[in-house]
Amino acid sequence: MPSTPQLSPQEEQEKLLEEGISIVKNQSFQMKRCLDKGKLMDGLKHASTMLGELRTSLLSPKSYYELYMAISDELRHLELYLCDEFQKGRKVADLYELVQYAGNIVPRLYLLITVGVVYIKSNELSRKDILKDLVEMCRGVQHPLRGLFLRNYLLTCTKNVLPDTEEELATNDYEYGTVMDSIDFILLNFSEMNKLWVRMQHQGHTRDRNKREQERRELRILVGTNLVRLSQLECIDMEKYKKVVLPAVLEQVVSCRDPIAQEYLMECIIQVFPDDFHLQTLNPFLKACAELHESVNVKNIIIALVDRLAQFAQNEEGSGIPPEIQLFDIFSDQISQVIQNRPDMPPEDIVALQVALINLALKCYPDKVDFVDKVLETTEDIFNRLNLDHSSCSLEYGSPVSKELMRLMKIPVDSYNNILTVLELSHFGPIFDYFDYQSRKLMCSYLINNVLENDTRIPTQDQVDNILNIVNVLVQDQSDQPAEPDDPEDFAEEQVLMGRFIHLLQAEDPNQQYLILNTARKHFGGGGDKRIKFTLPPIVFAAYRLAMRYKEAKEEDENWEKKCQKIFQFCHQTVGALIKADMAEMPLRLFLQGALTAGEIEFENHETVAYEFMSQAFSLYEDEISDSKAQLAAITLIIGTLEQMSCFGDENHEPLRTQCALAASKLLKKPDQCRGVCTCSHLFWSGRSASQEGELQDSKRVSDCLKKGVKIANQCMDSSVQVQLFVELLNHYIYYYEKGNDQVTIQVLNQLIAKIKETLPNLEANEETEQINKHFQNTVEHLKLRRDGSETEGPSYEELVL
């Protein structure tokens, strides 16, 4: 037995459709032939048979649509033919009655519509009455799919013949009808179509529900076309829209109690009618929103409306929002009504509505900060109501509510791009409490990044206090933070942000600036050891900068010296906090920087302050820095700092430089010693003391240092390092020789050069040697130039042996 292959549902649809279409083609061909021969009745009979195909129940909406399109194309041909005949004066009496003899209702009504429109176009009978009759007769098709398409055919055919004239103008042509007749016509068709569409939902098996809903969505445009048609009637003015059209449409939408229909139609209304209509009908529209089925996503509808109006408000060509319409208040009230009506509304949707509202406020009333604040206040209230004890159940990161709330909070940040305006929103900060740790961190980073990107300066202590309270999660440990520490990289990134942020705390007035720094210090001071490493140094630097400002404007403030002293106390104490956190190198540098700054400012007592800072640096060096590399780096810095300073009298300078020399010679490794001592030699040459004019230029001590260097270098075991040190020493010697140090003679140079030349070739050839060789060659090159150069100034190189 040959087995018939089982067709998949899709194949079956294709097959059915193909069959239908072929019948349609055949019948329409015959119809046209009959019409060409003038056999109208036969033509109609074929048309009716063709239309019989639309009686099927087997096709899916998609296939039915294709069949419908094929047939309505053919019907257009019939319509054209009939219109032609009528125009030629060949009228067929009672055609409108004739087509009604078709026994089946679906073909009958399609034919009736076709003929009805021909009558209208040729002004046969009353247009008004025909329209009314057609839309009433269509009630006979109660099958949802067939009814929807039939009524769509009605709507399509009547597209260009709907009366669109004002009532008063049409008094002498009553039969023609007015726009009111068109409105009645479309509204009736709309409500009938919507009922059919909604009815589809309740047909068939529950397990096919998804499929059914999908099919319904495919058909929605058919229903929506009614609204489009209404919007195309030019004579519908604001009055008619407000009093007739919208109430009827809304009544149908609300009463159908079908989520899919409600959602689609409400959005449809928003899209098809003009903005100024919406503006005048916000209350009824939003009221209807509140009455929609609970599973309707009202949020989307309201957001769509808000977006449209916001766009309208920003459109420059438009007239903008009329001042008499309190757009924000209306939305605000109606949205809270919607929320109240829906106790089951998910919180993320509630927040999304607030997002819409805040967008509206920002786009339509960019100057009204209080509107935005009101939205935030409402949001806060909502959360208060949702969870009375918010600290214990904050919004989990990544949850829809949390995401939505973040979106809400980012809007004012992004739209103002100015943290200071954001701070005017009194309800902005408190909402942060509802976020969990992770979300709070993200939000705060976002906020701070915004400040940084916009280079917003924070000019007052209150504002600083305010911001730091808001971004507390980045400043201090939190009660709800997870036990395991944050990812170190992320943590560093956040803290670097805060460090950069500190530099933006800038007041016009130095006194205010001082208060700001104090506040910042208070906040950041509690940040724990890990954070202060990032946050306190910028504060210290800001404080130094402030001290410089006082100095620059010392004429304006007679108390500037005292203030400077206070600042240095502040810095001293702040650096102290870092030391307590087991840091040494950073505080050492901060002290040195402080000493430099103090030395430069020359306020009363500045020498003592500078000395204190230097000595603090020394004690850090001695007590806390043990790594030899770090030691060398530190002592080099100390020496460099001291070399730069000129505020110390001899009684202070002397112990300091001696201490430097001592420390340098006490370094653990010989090469370090050698280098330290050499560096130190400069203290005795270009160092300055307040007690005497100019540089110290103590040739003897310089020479002693260098000799000591040579001695230490000689003790080095590693010949490669030794040569390197000799080359470095040679450079130091040359420097001093050129500077005119009388203790440095050309013989010393010659000796060193000879020594180097002797040792250098014995070195193992490698990269390091190469580098040393290069250094030496460059040095020799320099000397050659000097010797052979025409310059007469400076010491003579005649006796130099190269």
* Among the listed residues 61, 147, 347, 412, the single contact to other proteins using CB under 8 A: 147
Q: How far is the CB of 334 from other proteins (least distance, A)?
A: 31
Closer residue to other proteins in complex, CB, 89/103: 103
- What track of x and - describes contact with other proteins for positions 197 through 216 (by CB under 8 A)? --x-----------------
* Among the listed residues 19, 136, 627, 758, the single contact to other proteins using CB under 8 A: 136
Closer residue to other proteins in complex, CB, 108/533: 108
CA distance 610 to 616: 10
Work out whether 137 is an interface residue with other proteins (CB under 8 A).
yes
Q: Which residue has the tokens 């459109």?
A: 315
* From 133-141, 178-186, 471-479, 670-678, span contacting other proteins (CB under 8 A): 133-141
CA distance 496 to 452: 11
Q: How far is the CB of 149 from other proteins (least distance, A)?
A: 12
Q: How far is the CB of 100 from other proteins (least distance, A)?
A: 6
* From 14-22, 139-147, 205-213, 636-644, span contacting other proteins (CB under 8 A): 139-147
Buried b vs exposed e over 755-773: b needs ≥16 C-beta within 10 Å?
bbeeebeebeeeeebeebb
Closest CA to 433 of 472, 401, 487, 466: 472
Work out whether 752 is an interface residue with other proteins (CB under 8 A).
no
Work out whether 139 is an interface residue with other proteins (CB under 8 A).
yes
Work out whether 140 is an interface residue with other proteins (CB under 8 A).
yes
Length of the chain equals 802
Work out whether 97 is an interface residue with other proteins (CB under 8 A).
yes
Closest CA to 758 of 799, 728, 731, 722: 722
Phi, psi of 511 (to 5 degrees): -65, -40
Q: How far is the CB of 101 from other proteins (least distance, A)?
A: 5
Interface with other proteins (CB under 8 A), residue total 21
Q: Please, which residues have CB within 8 angstroms of residue 536's CB and are 6 or more apart in sequence?
A: 521, 524, 525, 574, 575, 577, 578
Work out whether 566 is an interface residue with other proteins (CB under 8 A).
no
Work out whether 118 is an interface residue with other proteins (CB under 8 A).
no
* Among the listed residues 46, 128, 146, 732, the single contact to other proteins using CB under 8 A: 146
Work out whether 50 is an interface residue with other proteins (CB under 8 A).
no
Q: How far is the CB of 102 from other proteins (least distance, A)?
A: 9
* From 10-18, 142-150, 685-693, 779-787, span contacting other proteins (CB under 8 A): 142-150
CA distance 32 to 78: 8
CA distance 404 to 502: 30
Closer residue to other proteins in complex, CB, 202/522: 202
Asked if 763 and 769 count as a contact pair (C-beta separation under 8 A), the reply is yes
CA distance 157 to 148: 14
Q: How far is the CB of 136 from other proteins (least distance, A)?
A: 6
Beta partners for residue 688, in sequence order: 695
Q: How far is the CB of 258 from other proteins (least distance, A)?
A: 13
Q: Is 478 exposed, middle or buried (0-12, 13-18, 19+ CB in 10 A)?
A: middle
Q: Please, which residues have CB within 8 angstroms of residue 256's CB and are 6 or more apart in sequence?
A: 194, 195, 198, 262
Q: How far is the CB of 163 from other proteins (least distance, A)?
A: 23
Q: What is the token pair recorded at 264?
A: 């689609």
* From 102-110, 278-286, 369-377, 434-442, span contacting other proteins (CB under 8 A): 102-110
Work out whether 771 is an interface residue with other proteins (CB under 8 A).
no
Asked if 182 and 164 count as a contact pair (C-beta separation under 8 A), the reply is yes
Which string of DSSP letters, residue by residue, matches 433-473?
GGB-HHHHHHHHHHHHHHHHHHT--B--HHHHHHHHHHTHH
CA distance 632 to 625: 10
Neighbouring C-beta atoms of residue 515, cutoff 10 Å: 17
Q: How far is the CB of 151 from other proteins (least distance, A)?
A: 13
Q: How far is the CB of 143 from other proteins (least distance, A)?
A: 3
Asked if 181 and 163 count as a contact pair (C-beta separation under 8 A), the reply is yes
Work out whether 132 is an interface residue with other proteins (CB under 8 A).
no
Q: Which residue has the tokens 């809400």?
A: 408
Closest CA to 198 of 153, 139, 259, 250: 259
Closer residue to other proteins in complex, CB, 56/481: 56
Closer residue to other proteins in complex, CB, 97/509: 97
Work out whether 59 is an interface residue with other proteins (CB under 8 A).
no
Work out whether 174 is an interface residue with other proteins (CB under 8 A).
no
Work out whether 255 is an interface residue with other proteins (CB under 8 A).
no
Closest CA to 466 of 427, 434, 511: 427
* Among the listed residues 100, 165, 644, 750, the single contact to other proteins using CB under 8 A: 100
* Among the listed residues 105, 288, 364, 729, the single contact to other proteins using CB under 8 A: 105
Work out whether 141 is an interface residue with other proteins (CB under 8 A).
yes
* From 99-107, 217-225, 517-525, 595-603, span contacting other proteins (CB under 8 A): 99-107
Closer residue to other proteins in complex, CB, 115/547: 115
CA distance 404 to 411: 11
CA 15-17-20 angle, to 5 degrees, is 110
Work out whether 101 is an interface residue with other proteins (CB under 8 A).
yes
Q: What is the SS3 assignment for 395? A: strand
Closer residue to other proteins in complex, CB, 199/503: 199
- Which residues here bind other proteins, judged by CB under 8 A? 55, 97, 100-101, 103-106, 108, 136-137, 139-144, 146-147, 195, 199
